[in-house]
Amino acid sequence: MILVVLQNEELQPPLEIDDAQRRGTERGRQRSRIAGAWLSPHSLFEGLALPYTKRVTSFKARQAGLPPRIELSKLPRMRLSCRKYGRRTIGLTSSILLPVAFVVAAVRPSQALPQRPSPKVFAKELESLLKELDRGSPFFDVKGIAKDWKKAKAELRSRVKKCKSEADFVDLVVEAGRRLRDGHFQITKADVEKNEFPKSWWPGIAMLPATEDRVIVMWVPRSMSGVLEVGDVITKIDGKPARDVLDGRAADEWDRGGYFSSPQRARFFAYRTALVTEEQNAKFELEWIDSKGKKKHRTVRAEYEPRSWQHEYHMPEGLEAAAKSVHFTKIGTTGYVYFRRLDETAESGFAKAVAGLAGVSSWIIDLRGNTGGGYDRTFVDRLSELAKDSRKVAVLIDGGCISAGETMARDLVRHANARLFGQTTAGSSSTKKLLDLLDGKIQVRYSNASRNGIKRDIEFYGIEPDVVVEADPDEVRAGKNSMIEYALRELSDPKK
Pairing outcome for strands 233-237 and 320-323: unpaired
Nearest to 102 by CA among 182, 209, 162: 182
The beta strands (E) that lie in 137-278 are given as 186-190, 206-210, 214-219, 233-237, 240-241
CA distance linking residue 417 with residue 284, whole number of Å: 46
CA distance linking residue 394 with residue 412, whole number of Å: 9
Residue type, 458: I
Count Cβ neighbours within 10 Å for each residue of 444-454 and write b for 16 or more, e otherwise: bbbbbebbebe
Q: What is the DSSP letter of 208?
A: E
For the structural domain made of 206-301, what CATH number should be given? 2.30.42.10
Is 490:459 a contact under the CB 8 Å cutoff? no
CA distance linking residue 224 with residue 203, whole number of Å: 10
CATH 3.90.226.10 residue window(s) in the chain: 320-431+452-492
What are the helix and strand counts (H, E) for the chain? 13, 16
Q: Which residues, in sequence order, are bridge partners of residue 317?
A: none
For the structural domain made of 320-431+452-492, what CATH number should be given? 3.90.226.10
Give one DSSP letter per residue of 76-122, joined into a string.
Answer: GG---------SS-----TTTTTT-----S--PPP---SSPPPHHHH
Taking only the tens of pLDDT, the chain with its 496 residues reads 333 333 333 333 332 323 333 334 333 333 333 233 222 333 333 332 223 233 334 444 444 444 443 333 333 333 333 333 333 333 333 334 444 333 444 444 445 444 678 889 999 999 999 999 999 999 999 999 999 999 999 999 999 999 999 999 999 999 999 999 999 999 999 999 999 888 999 999 999 999 999 999 999 999 998 999 999 999 999 999 999 999 999 999 999 999 999 999 999 999 999 999 999 999 999 999 999 999 999 999 999 999 889 999 999 999 999 999 999 999 999 999 999 999 999 999 999 999 999 999 999 999 999 999 999 999 999 999 999 999 999 999 999 999 999 999 999 999 999 999 999 999 999 999 999 999 999 999 999 999 999 999 999 999 999 999 999 999 999 999 999 999 999 999 988 8
- Rounded (10°) angle between helices 166-180 and 119-136: 20
CATH 2.30.42.10 residue window(s) in the chain: 206-301
The beta strands (E) that lie in 211-282 are given as 214-219, 233-237, 240-241
Q: How far is CA 396 from the centre of its chain?
A: 16
Q: What is the pTM of this model?
A: 0.80
Is 90:104 a contact under the CB 8 Å cutoff? yes
